[in-house]
């Protein structure tokens, strides 16, 4: 039947692309539908004037090198994707707190990172070594959780520290390890990447991510994240999968408690499995007949906090980074070194919280803009409902004022003179992301992580979250949470579940 698929995937974000690549590669008749005319969701690029801007990616985590591959490199290798990735980042982050005189430029490599931390905060090395050890253990333990040998007993035997630490926050564990507060503030600089402050963030998840950046370094595709999305798109097409752009899935069809197809342009397309890269709140709230949605699905979605929101400013500069005096790739500029203060300042406000990440892509990929120019990318975070009541009349003013404040902050904190050299400027707010990604309030981060609801807890209860048969989720709104790596792996999880189900039914021969 022409309108009958093994699997229909809704949304070509990182999660959806990963699922469709995996199911197509495994011989399933796969249809991927995307409401825009290009793939990627957050993982894309856009052109203004003579600049091709990176939309979202600061750093691809757990990448590694061909010789020492991390989880994401293995994922691309498994799909046969060959990418040209710049991995020349020898630094992790540079934390700048003008009010406290802090300029912490932290290197990659465990020994180098620990050495630098000790130099900045004497006495911090022993506790940082322990964090490194736990981070390595967490990475292994998480992989084991997904292996066929996994059981609670086996986990406990192999990784006795895992359940001792699981569920404890970053702050609790670092305090227990006796890490000086000043060192804690430095090593938790990446909290924004996981969208929750250290007091709310699961220690093992943070330690694993931090060590991923320190041990494997980070990477960036030469042609922006759009190259990643196009590479996955190619796998899908090469393996016989179909991709329909400009195609919004309006409804997921459910019969007898099982997903059985989608409606696109008023027409029904049937499938044995439906995978949604659209956020669960959108799916349960507006894409399925309410009569067919179990009460538990509504309750769970409503009990979770929507993930972080962003305002980003993209600048095309008619000067080189050297001429502008920008020598690092990734600056974290904050009003206070205390991440809890940074977080509180970003809650329920639409004002600029004075916390901003500034990236200069040319310091990793020198030729990413025409000669004599460079591109800068500023990101600030929000949590909660600050942007909910912005009216159309005041929107442009608020957006422009926010951009002005962000540029001011970078100029003052880093002693730069940027304004005279701006050739292109683009500003995206939570409203822009909501419109583009179709996610609640515009979050690209799924749900906020809390100690009661983080990867470990979601992993152990994942079966209880399967409310509708043959319906799966991929992307930041799943158990793995936000970020490129997590979204790809969540897509792989969904693809594997579908392939497993088809194998059990005898639907796939190999
Ligand atoms: C400014 C910014 C900076 C970031 N920096 C980093 C970083 O440095 N490192 C990192 O790891 N992560 C970063 N992230 C987060 C990361 O980009 C996201 O967490 C991740 O890409 C989410 O992927 P996803 O699979 O959830 O899909 P999404 O990106 O949310 O895409 C979903 C796709 O589904 C489509 N869709 C939705 N509904 C429908 C429908 N009904 N029918 C058809 N199509 C539909 C949308 O159009 C979209 O293409 C950043 C994000 C932003 C915005």
Radius of gyration of the chain (CA): 22
Can you name the residues that pair with 422 across neighbouring β-strands?
317
- The ligand 1 atom at the shortest distance from the C-alpha of residue 484 is 11
Helices (H) and strands (E) in the chain, counts: 19, 18
Residue ID of nearest Cα to ligand 1 atom 6: 57
**Phi and psi, residue 449, nearest 5°:** -85, 140
Instruction: Transcribe 30-53 into DSSP letters.
Output: EEEE-SSSSSBTTS-EEEETTEEE
Residue 63 has what pLDDT? Answer: 76
Can you name the residues that pair with 447 across neighbouring β-strands?
306
Cβ–Cβ < 8 Å for 90, 36: no
Residue ID of nearest Cα to ligand 1 atom 18: 483
Cβ–Cβ < 8 Å for 203, 172: yes
Residue ID of nearest Cα to ligand 1 atom 13: 483
User: In a mutational test of the pocket of ligand 1, which residue from 9, 10, 15, 41 has the highest number of ligand atoms less than 8 Å from its CB?
Assistant: 41
Residue 510 has what pLDDT? Answer: 46
What is the three-class DSSP state of 491? Answer: helix
CA of 203 to the centre of ligand 1 (A): 25
Please indicate whether residue 484, judged by its CB atom, sits closer than 6 Å to ligand 1.
yes
Number of C-beta neighbours around residue 147 at 10 A: 8
- The ligand 1 atom at the shortest distance from the C-alpha of residue 58 is 8
User: In a mutational test of the pocket of ligand 1, which residue from 36, 40, 42 has the highest number of ligand atoms less than 8 Å from its CB?
Assistant: 42
Three-state SS for 122-180 is: CCCHHHHHHHHHHHHHHHHHHHHHCCCCCCHHHHHHHCHHHHHHCCCEHHHHHHHCCCC
Domain boundaries, the chain: 4-63+222-305+449-505, 108-215, 309-382+388-428
CA of 345 to the centre of ligand 1 (A): 25
Please indicate whether residue 35, judged by its CB atom, sits closer than 6 Å to ligand 1.
yes
In the DSSP assignment, the letter for residue 305 is: P
Cβ–Cβ < 8 Å for 63, 217: yes
Residue ID of nearest Cα to ligand 1 atom 34: 11
For the chain, 510 residues long, give each residue's pLDDT as a single digit of tens.
567 999 999 999 999 999 999 999 999 999 999 999 999 999 999 999 999 999 999 988 877 777 777 788 889 999 999 887 877 678 899 999 999 999 999 999 999 999 999 999 999 999 999 999 999 999 899 888 878 899 989 999 999 999 899 889 999 999 999 999 999 999 999 999 999 999 999 999 999 999 988 987 778 888 999 999 999 999 999 999 999 999 999 999 999 999 999 999 999 999 999 999 999 999 999 999 999 999 999 999 999 999 999 999 999 999 999 999 999 999 999 999 999 999 999 999 999 999 999 999 999 999 999 999 999 999 999 999 999 999 999 999 999 999 999 999 999 999 999 999 999 999 999 999 999 999 999 999 999 988 788 887 888 888 888 999 999 999 999 999 999 999 999 999 999 999 999 999 876 654
| Residue indicated by tokens 């090593």 | 187
C-alpha 480, offset from chain centre: 10
Please indicate whether residue 34, judged by its CB atom, sits closer than 6 Å to ligand 1.
yes
Q: How much is the pTM?
A: 0.96
**Which CATH number is 4-63+222-305+449-505 given?**
3.50.50.60
User: In a mutational test of the pocket of ligand 1, which residue from 56, 75, 287, 306 has the highest number of ligand atoms less than 8 Å from its CB?
Assistant: 56
CA of 448 to the centre of ligand 1 (A): 15
Residue ID of nearest Cα to ligand 1 atom 49: 41
Residue ID of nearest Cα to ligand 1 atom 2: 56
Please indicate whether residue 478, judged by its CB atom, sits closer than 6 Å to ligand 1.
no
Q: What's the CA gap between 457 and 447, in Å, rounded?
A: 13
Please indicate whether residue 33, judged by its CB atom, sits closer than 6 Å to ligand 1.
yes
Please indicate whether residue 95, judged by its CB atom, sits closer than 6 Å to ligand 1.
no
C-alpha dihedral, 13 to 19 to 21 to 27, nearest 10°:
-150
Instruction: Transcribe 76-115 into DSSP letters.
Output: HHHHT----EE----EEEEEEEGGGTEEEEEESSHHHHHH
CA of 172 to the centre of ligand 1 (A): 31
Q: What's the CA gap between 329 and 91, in Å, rounded?
A: 8
Q: What's the CA gap between 314 and 376, in Å, rounded?
A: 6
CA of 279 to the centre of ligand 1 (A): 10
Residue 148 has what pLDDT? Answer: 87
Residue 216 has what pLDDT? Answer: 77
Please indicate whether residue 132, judged by its CB atom, sits closer than 6 Å to ligand 1.
no
Please indicate whether residue 54, judged by its CB atom, sits closer than 6 Å to ligand 1.
no
Cβ–Cβ < 8 Å for 470, 272: yes
CA of 106 to the centre of ligand 1 (A): 28
Residue ID of nearest Cα to ligand 1 atom 17: 42
Residue 2 has what pLDDT? Answer: 62
Residue ID of nearest Cα to ligand 1 atom 37: 278
């Amino acid at each position: 039947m022409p309108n009958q698929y093994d699997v229909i995937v809704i949304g070509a974000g990182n999660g959806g692309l990963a699922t469709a690549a995996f199911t197509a590669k495994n011989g399933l008749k796969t249809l991927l539908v995307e409401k825009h005319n290009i793939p990627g969701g957050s993982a894309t690029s856009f052109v203004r004037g003579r600049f091709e801007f990176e939309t979202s990616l600061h750093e691809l985590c757990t990448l590694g090198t061909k010789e020492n591959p991390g989880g994401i490199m293995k994922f691309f290798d498994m799909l046969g994707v060959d990418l040209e990735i710049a991995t020349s980042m020898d630094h992790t982050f540079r934390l700048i707190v003008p009010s406290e005189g802090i300029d912490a430029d932290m290197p990659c490599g465990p020994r180098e990172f620990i050495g630098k931390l000790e130099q900045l905060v004497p006495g911090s090395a022993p506790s940082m070594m322990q964090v490194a050890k736990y981070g390595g253990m967490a990475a292994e333990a998480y992989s084991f959780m997904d292996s066929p040998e996994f059981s609670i007993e086996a986990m406990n035997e192999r990784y006795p520290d895992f359940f001792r630490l699981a569920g404890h926050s970053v702050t609790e564990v670092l305090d227990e390890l006796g890490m000086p507060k000043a060192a804690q503030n430095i090593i938790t600089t990446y909290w924004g990447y996981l969208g929750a402050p250290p007091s709310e963030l699961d220690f093992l998840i943070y330690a694993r991510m931090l060590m991923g950046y320190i041990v494997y370094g980070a990477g960036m595709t030469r042609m922006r994240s759009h190259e990643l999305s196009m590479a996955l798109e190619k796998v899908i097409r090469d393996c016989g999968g179909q991709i329909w752009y400009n195609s919004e899935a309006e409804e997921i069809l459910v019969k007898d408690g099982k997903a059985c197809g989608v409606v696109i342009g008023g027409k029904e397309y049937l499938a044995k499995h439906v995978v949604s890269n659209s956020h669960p709140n959108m799916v349960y709230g507006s894409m399925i007949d309410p009569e067919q949605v179990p009460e538990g699905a509504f309750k769970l979605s409503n009990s979770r906090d929507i993930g972080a929101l962003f305002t980003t400013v993209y600048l095309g500069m008619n000067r080189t980074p050297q001429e502008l005096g920008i020598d690092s790739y990734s600056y974290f500029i904050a009003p206070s070194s205390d991440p809890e203060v940074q977080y509180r300042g970003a809650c329920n406000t639409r004002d600029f919280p004075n916390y901003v990440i500034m990236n200069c892509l040319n310091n990793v990929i020198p030729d990413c803009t025409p000669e004599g120019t460079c591109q800068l990318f500023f990101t600030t975070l929000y949590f909660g409902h600050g942007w909910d009541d912005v009216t159309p009349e005041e929107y442009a003013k608020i957006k422009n004022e926010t951009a002005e404040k962000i540029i001011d902050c970078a100029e003052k904190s880093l002693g730069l003179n940027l304004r005279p050299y701006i050739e292109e400027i683009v500003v995206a707010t939570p409203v822009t992301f909501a419109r583009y990604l179709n996610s609640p309030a515009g979050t690209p981060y799924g749900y906020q992580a809390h100690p009661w609801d983080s990867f470990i807890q979601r992993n152990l209860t994942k079966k209880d979250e399967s409310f509708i048969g043959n319906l799966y989720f991929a992307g930041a709104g799943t158990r793995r949470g936000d970020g490129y790596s997590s979204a790809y792996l969540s897509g792989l999880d969904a693809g594997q579940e579908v392939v497993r189900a088809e194998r059990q039914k005898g639907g796939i021969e190999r």
